[in-house]
Amino acid sequence: MVQAHDRTSLSLAASSKMLDGRGCDGPSAAAESRAQHRPLGTDPLSDVLGTVKLTGALFFLVEASFPWGLEVPHAAAFSSIILPRAQHIVSYHIILKGSGWAGIPHATSTWFEAGDILVLPHGDPYSMLSEPDRAPEFDVQATMDFFRDMAAGKLPFVSREGGGGDPRCEFVCGFLGCDMRPFNPLLSTLPRLLRIKRSHDRREGLLSPLIDLTLAEARRPRVGGGSIRLRLSELVFVELMRQYLESLPAHETGWLSGLRDPAIGKVLIMLHEQPAYPWTLNELASRAGMSRAAFAGRFTHLVGHAPMQYLTLWRMQIAARFLGDSSMKVAAVGREIGYESEAAFSRAFKKTVGVSPAAWRGNAAGTG
């Protein structure tokens, strides 16, 4: 199982993989030797989730009776309430019973039913309604007040709302914090509203057992239950992404599609295993068993970035994590991702991220 709930161990594991080579200005012979003899086995999905600091923020169950409706503002409006240190908030809803309509601005409303999971990865404002175009019972202000009370522990895990009639709808609401800057390859390629069909075959995944465990924990309140539910919410999201990955149609593009592709997925594993190694396009193409042109075209088509551009972006995400979470000197951070000199690293970081490493560190400290 992907251990999304253990962020510390994930970040340490990811960090240990960053100490490989000195790269862009010329790796040392020792660094190349370590990279060549290092066993592969990195799980890029775990790597990304650990490095972008996936963190449970809020998790609760809604029991709604007809008519019902809620309106949620842009995530930036409530992130400081539910997880003040998070760069970004992702929300998802698991429909347990009934049906309804979900809407985001400038898009057609999406009908949902029991067994569906709705994921809003980009923080868009949205509504969930028993009927389309109905005025929500919980408008933006009411929702904000609800988030404040829920985050403060003033409300129970189960929230009941609506007019008291039938049909009824039940859904689990999960809100997660994570980093989006400078680069989150998982979320950046997902659609604004993602609808996933839940499998009830326990042999096909962990989602149903995780949901059952969460509900059982909520119905039997015990000390530490809130913390357990938040960790479970992280695991639920990871399993959602795994099921989405497995259900992607062949023509789909995006980072997860690249991960699933045999040749491109192999290269992504190598880049995440050895981000500081002095990779070249020719070597990556050779490892993928493709010509340089064919490899570059397929990688770019599936992942959305050219191979060397992706490597640079991922290196800068790693560097940003180090700058924000450690007291390492800037030059040392640069060496961890393959830059021989502080000047070369600083130039690359500012060109890619838009600010200097020192400014990034200062901004991270200001939000801590």
pLDDT at 32 over 50: no
Q: What is the mean pLDDT of residues 216-241?
A: 87
Please determine, for residue 322, whether its predicted confidence score (pLDDT) is greater than 90.
Answer: yes
Inter-CA distances, 256 with 16, 17, 120, Å = 24, 21, 16
pLDDT-derived band at 106, boundaries 50, 70, 90: very high
Pairing assessment for the beta strands 158-162 and 55-66 based on DSSP bridges:
parallel
Higher pLDDT among residues 176 and 10, named by residue: 176
The C-alpha atoms of residue 199 and residue 353 are separated, in whole angstroms, by: 39
Which of 218, 219, 223, 294 has the alpha carbon at shortest distance from 261? 294
Residue of 23 and 260 predicted with greater confidence? 260
For the stretch 260-317, pLDDT in tens is 999 999 999 999 999 999 999 999 999 999 999 999 999 999 999 999 999 999 999 9
Q: What angle do CA 128, 234, 162 make, to 5 degrees?
A: 25
User: For the residues 167-180, what does the mean pLDDT come to?
Assistant: 95
Mean pLDDT over 110-116 rounds to: 96
Predicted pLDDT of residue 6 = 37
pLDDT at position 168 is: 97
Task: Give pLDDT, residue 105.
Answer: 94
Residue 54 in contact with residue 4, Cβ under 8 Å? yes
pLDDT at 226: 81
- pLDDT score recorded for residue 10: 34
Q: Are 94 and 232 in contact (CB under 8 A)?
A: no
Q: Say yes or no to pLDDT of 38 above 80.
A: no
Strand order of the β-sheet with 69-72 is: 69-72, 126-129, 99-103, 110-113
Confidence of residue 224 (pLDDT cuts 50, 70, 90): confident
- Adjacent-strand bridge partners of 65: 162, 168
Mean pLDDT of the chain: 86
pLDDT band at 5 (very low <50, low <70, confident <90, very high): very low
Averaged pLDDT for residues 236-245: 90
